[in-house]
Chains A and B, each alone.
Chain A
Amino acid sequence: MVEKYEVLVVGAGPAGAAAAITTAKGGMSSVVIERGDFAGSKNMFGGIVFTKPTAQIIPEFWKTAPIERRVVEYQYWLLSSESHVQINHRNQRFLKDFNSFTALRARFDKWFAQQAEAAGALLLTRTTVTGVLRDSTGKINGVSTDRGDILADVVIACDGVNSLVSKGAGLHEEWNPEDIAVTVKETYALPKDKIEERFNIRGDEGVAVQFYGGRNEEYAGFMYTNKDTISFGVGAIMSDLAAFKTRPQDLLEWMKSHPSIRPLLDGTTLREYTAHLIPEGGYDRIPPLFTDGMMVAGDAAGLVNALNFEGTNFAMISGKFAGQTAIDAKKSGGVYTSDRLSGYRTYLENSFVLQDLKKFRQVPRYIATHKQFLTLYPELMNSVLYKFLEVDGRPKEEHLREIKDELYTKRGRLGILRDLYGIYRRAT
């Protein structure tokens, strides 16, 4: 006998669990199919999770969720080959308002999926979805898995960046290497007191660090303090790495060996090495979000704001809206054709999800085609500060002249103005 549910969610990541929590709470019979050994076992991110969107799904989640540390300080490091310029913002308000927290996906997603089960959804792990099923009208009405077929009124594809389900359903083609970052990450063990001493934090305070510059490839590095581990990694656009013939793991090794970064990892023990892709193409690369019998949420739909390292919250909120749309469709007659699911896009358009992505739609490609932002400018900031701070017996006048010369020869007065205006116009 083939099983049948009202809602079938593919993938028990943040999007899938949020969708199932919503539909199960809304009284719909819901099943979540997860290919991993347990929810979270295949997932990876930097990372931090933003608190307020999470609380929209599970109010006061921090009372039971496995959060690592509450972020009190955000750091931005602009690297040169043997130096860096650091901009930090530490603010007690980040704690009071509880802006974000560090987390580990294998633990957090496991907990989050348990909330879906507690709401009444069925979680099927170790089951890989291999394709969609369709009824005689062509509407999607279930999925095939490596354990057999499962039918449903509506499918919500939350199967992550590779999105084999929505691609298999013909919703979109393969991603372009220009729009996808490959990220490698290492997790290191370090005793709790050492982490607190090293990062100048107390109790459950945490620090989130981003690294840029010092390379010809455009990349973004990250470091996050967990309870007794440190997450450290780097992501770069795939086509850029291919053009420079740089392996992502070599970029990570370069960062680790950087004289400014190396001391932060002293005495640590490597616990895990893994990799993941991030869809960074933004608004213009979002595939169709729904079709007859199916909606797509989270990374599978390319809903990531790479500028602000936001993805988990986009996944959760889009999953919630997909779930809400399923409930709406049930209430208005239980028909799940594409016209009945179009409210999903409206929900997203009325929220930060599509509004933020639309607002910054030009930025990813602007930065990708204007390499000076992540390569030349970090270099210049380092050398300008060095020359400013250097005391060598020559008059300061000479130092200042050298600074000006360097700026004007490497980019030019007009170039700098044009860059400032360009980024201002696209990002504000």
Chain B
Amino acid sequence: MSTQTVSTTTQPPAKETKVTVEEKLYLAKYKLDERPHLLIIDQDICQKCAAINGSPQPCMILCPADVFKWEEGKRNIVSYDNCVECGACRIICPYSNIEWKYPRWGRGLSHRYG
């Protein structure tokens, strides 16, 4: 068994760390609906959108919960378990390319304050 020594010499000065949206969302009460309530209808349209509007695409700019991530040149990855169910992506998508439903049976986000 070897012991590792931890260097304590050069630590960068403490910086003000910004909490990411993902970290903020950990505070939420959330029950997953295994069936995704958000779906990209056609990934080819997202490619076209990236070509026309650049990336981040409108859904990625407007989503307050960082649900959409662009895998460069490939596809729009949807982390629907981050979703706060606001509906912004559905309205801003220039191609109506997001199938948007509510989660079932009381699942999804639950506010404690609101």
Measured CB to CB, the residues of A under 8 A from B are 35-38, 40-45, 104-107, 109, 125-128, 130, 146-147, 161-162, 164, 174-177, 180, 182, 184, 186-187, 229, 231, 238-239, 241-242, 245-249, 253, 270-277
Contact = CB atoms under 8 A, between A and B. Distances in A.
Interface of B: 18-19, 21, 24-25, 27-28, 31, 56, 58, 61-66, 84-88, 90-92, 96, 100-106, 108-114
Contacts of A231: 113
B92 A128 contact: no
Contacts of B109: 41-42, 274
Given A38-B110, A182-B64, 6 more contacts: A127-B106, A238-B62, A273-B25, A273-B27, A274-B114, A275-B88
B91 A180 contact: yes
Contact of A177 (B24, B92, B106): B92
Given A35-B102, A42-B85, A276-B86, A174 B96 contact: yes
B18 to A, nearest CB: 7
B64 A275 contact: yes
B114 A104 contact: yes
A249 B64 contact: yes
Most chain A CB within 10 A, of B19, B63, B106, B111, is at B111
B21 A162 contact: no
Q: Chain B's interface: helix, strand, loop or mixed, by majority?
A: loop
A126 B110 CA distance: 11
A403 to B, nearest CB: 36
Contacts of B85: 42
Nearest to B54: A245
A35 B61 contact: no
A249 B111 contact: no
B114 A45 contact: yes
Given A44-B111, A241-B62, A272-B113, A128 B88 contact: no
A16 B20 CA distance: 35
A127 B104 CA distance: 7
Contacts of A273: 21, 24-25, 27-28
Nearest to A34: B106
A248 B58 CA distance: 12
A276 B83 CA distance: 11
A245 B62 CA distance: 8
**3 tightest CB-CB pairs across the interface, nearest first?**
A126-B106, A105-B114, A273-B24
A127 B27 contact: no
Contacts of A42: 85, 108-111
B105 A241 contact: no
A43 B111 contact: yes
Contacts of A176: 91
Contact of B61 (A37, A41, A242, A270): A242
A182 B88 contact: yes
A66 B73 CA distance: 51
A37 B33 CA distance: 13
Contact of B62 (A35, A164, A248): A248
Nearest to A128: B102
Contacts of A270: 19, 24, 27
A126 B105 contact: yes
A106 B56 CA distance: 33
Contact of A272 (B100, B108, B111): B111
